[in-house]
Structure formats: structure tokens, C-alpha cells
A = this chain, B = another copy of it.
Amino acid sequence: MKAAFGGATLMSSSSANAQTTNPYTYRRNWGRWGADDQKGAVNLITPAKRAAAAALVRSGRAVSVGRVFEPSQHYIRVNQRGAGSSAVDYYGFEYHGVTVTHVDAFVHMWDRDGMWNGRDPAKEVDTNGARFGDITAFGDGLITRGVLLDVPRYRNVPHVAIGRPVTGAELEAIAKAQNVNVEPGDALLVYSGRESFVKEAGRYGGVTEPRPGLDSSCARFIRDRDVAVLAWDMHDAVPDTSGHPFPAHAVLYSYGVALIDNSLLEPLARACAEERRYEFMFMALPLKIARGTGSPANPIAML
């Protein structure tokens, strides 16, 4: 049943629920910030929240959370002019997937229930781009308090292994062990030891093969803590017991949580361990690409 909602067509969750096994009707955030909202939980990053994040800075040590990026198409042109010569380049790339550090816009993913805020992708997306929930919604940046949870350290293993996904209860326990709270509007950085896994396995794969990562129960933790941003180095564990595809990615469209995929977290985990701090100022400034489904990024954590 389709019901009008705030001027846009909302795909009814009740009838859809009967069809899906979507675990994220639990405390779903649709409508929480208004029917036309495009910022989701990022609304929780208020000016005061940003100021408090800046106040966390002690030494000013900056650690990059972005991987080096090699666009598929990268070409140089040299304009020799004697004085005033220059080299310019062209970048062409797709960035979603398991390689490039990037920020997902809310429009990027949906399931049978719909997009973020119940919108119908058939109406909001076509070959000319996204009309709702594009990456410009984060045009003022994602600048907030960051908290890193170090899973391998907690487990005393080099990395999260296939078949032993990170769980919500585990994130709870790690925060406690690290003596740090996860608060509303935070950026949650979940370090799973991706580099170590790749060194062993050769690669981190797609969804068609078993891979290590986060379990669907992590989403409940994220929702219960009202996290605004999830930056992770692994993705959804495959398989997941919920039977739901992208069980952790679902926080994007169910809760309006900004996702930063393929984050580089090993150096930051090391810095946090050295400084014995797991909270810091976190900054991710995605490009303001009109109608875009996301943006590559180089986020920075500052201690």
C-alpha cells in the first residue's frame, strides 16, 4: 500500500515487512527529522557537537583515514609554454565497492521497503542522477567526535576472521574495555584489521563469497547509540545470519547513518593505542557533487 507522506510517496513499511526479513524496522528513523529530510542521523551533528569535537584536540596529531587512490582513468596533459607551463590531469572512476575510501550518500542503497525516509528509488533516481538524498546533503562536512573501537586488539588476534563477524554486543564490550562511550552524533570507527586479513587471504572480496566483517547486530548498537557516521575498513560479513543482504550497510537507509567504506584504520588504531585515547576530532569532507550517489574522500582523525 502506498501512502502519501509529506508530498512524496512513501512505501508502506507494514505491508513490506510482511514480505521481507528486514531486521531494521527496529527503531527505524524514517520521519524522525521530517518527511523531506535528507540528512538523517547527521542532523545530530549540531554546531555544539562540532565545537565539542574540536575541544577534544590535544597534540594536533593528524592521522589519515583514507587509502591512496588510483583512479581507473588517470591521464596527464602537459602544457609547455616556457613561462607558465603546467601539468593537468583527468580523473575517471567508479568508487563504490571494496577498494576506494568513500562516503555513501543516502540514495546509494535501498531494499524492498524503500530508500532513506521511505522514498521510492524509481521516482528519485534515473540516468540523470539522484533527486533525493544525494551527497551534497553532507556539503557542510562530517565533522564530529570520533570513537575508534579496535576489534582485533580486543580479540587478541591480527584481524577479524571469516565466520567470526563483529557483533553489537562485542562493540559494547570493546567500548567498555577501552573506557570510552559512544554518544549521539558520533562517528564510530570500527577497525577490523583489514590489512592483516588481506595479507593472508590475498584480497577482500565482494558479496558473492564468504568474507569477514560486521554482523547485522552491529546495526542495533549503532541505532541505540544514535551514531551519525560509521567508518569501517571491512564491510558486511558474508554470510550473515539475518538472511538480509548488506545487513550492516542497511544503517544507511534505515537509520540515515553516513557510511565511509574502505577506511584506512590500522595507522589510527596504532596511534590510539600509543596515546591511549580512543576519542578524537574526526573530519570527512565529501565532494559536493550534484546528484551524486557518494564521493571518494580522505578523512582525518586529529588527536
Q: Is the CB of A75 within 8 A of B127?
A: yes
Chain B residues, CB < 8 A from A112: 82-83
User: In the complex, how many residues of chain A place their beta carbon closer than 8 angstroms to a beta carbon of chain B?
Assistant: 90
**Identity of the chain B residue whose Cβ is nearest the Cβ of A94 in the assembled complex:** B90
> Does A143 touch B at the CB level, under 8 Å?
yes
A139 to B285, CA, bound (A): 13
Given contacts A62-B50, A75-B77, A283-B285, contact A84 B109 (CB under 8 A): yes
Q: Given contacts A54-B54, A126-B76, are A83 and B245 in contact (CB under 8 A)?
A: yes
* Shortest Cβ distance from residue A282 to the other chain B in the assembled complex, whole angstroms: 11
Contacts of A72 in B (CB 8 A): 72
A89 at the interface (CB under 8 A from B): yes
In the docked arrangement, what's the CA distance between A84 and B292, Å? 19
Q: Which residue of B lies closest to A97 (CB)?
A: B88
Q: Interface with B: A63-71, A166-174, A196-204, which one?
A: A63-71
- Expressed in whole angstroms, the Cα–Cα distance for A139 and B297 within the complex equals 11
The residue that A143 contacts in the complex, of B58, B288, B290, B302, with Cβ under 8 A, is B302
Binary CB contact string for chain A from 20 to 31 against chain B (1 if under 8 A, 0 otherwise): 101000000000
| A 265-303 binary contact with B (CB < 8 Å = 1; else 0) | 000000000000000010111111111111011111010
- Decide if B110 touches A85 in the complex (CB within 8 Å): yes
Partner of A127, one of B64, B76, B81: B76
Contact of A92 among B47, B90, B121 (CB under 8 A): B90
Q: Complex: how many Å from CA A218 to CA B58?
A: 34
Contact, CB under 8 Å: B297 / A285: yes
Question: Among A85, A127, A302, which residue has the most Cβ atoms of chain B within 10 A?
Answer: A127
Q: How distant is A93 from chain B, measured CB to nearest CB, in Å?
A: 6
Is the beta-carbon distance between B246 and A127 smaller than 8 angstroms? Answer: no
Q: A75-B76, A76-B126, A91-B93 are in contact. List 8 more A-B contacts (CB 8 A).
A: A47-B62, A50-B302, A66-B139, A69-B287, A73-B73, A91-B91, A287-B296, A287-B298
Across the A-B interface, the 7 shortest Cβ-Cβ residue pairs:
A75-B75, A84-B245, A51-B60, A50-B60, A92-B92, A47-B60, A54-B57
A/B interface sample: 23 pairs, CB < 8 A: A47-B61, A49-B60, A50-B60, A50-B62, A54-B281, A68-B139, A69-B289, A72-B72, A73-B90, A75-B75, A75-B77, A82-B111, A83-B112, A84-B246, A86-B108, A89-B292, A89-B294, A91-B93, A92-B93, A141-B283, A141-B298, A285-B297, A285-B298
